[in-house]
A = this chain, B = another copy of it.
Amino acid sequence: MSDNSVIYIGSKPVMNYCLAVLSSLQGDASSVFLKARGRAISTAVDVAEVTKNRFLQDLSVKSIEIGTEELESEGRTRNVSTISIELGKG
Residues of A participating in the B interface, judged by any CB pair closer than 8 Å: 38-42, 45-46, 48-50, 53, 61, 64-68, 79, 81-83, 85
Compute how far the CA of A66 lies from the CA of B41 in the bound complex, rounded to whole angstroms. Answer: 12
Number of copies of chain A assembled together: 2
Q: Please give me the residue from chain B that is nearest to A37 by CB atom.
A: B42
- Residues of B contacting A48 in the complex (Cβ-Cβ under 8 angstroms): 66, 81
Can you give 11 contacting A-B residue pairs, CB < 8 Å?
A40-B42, A42-B81, A45-B83, A46-B81, A48-B66, A49-B66, A49-B81, A53-B68, A53-B79, A64-B65, A64-B66
With A41-B42, A45-B81, A45-B83: A61-B66 Cβ-Cβ less than 8 Å: yes
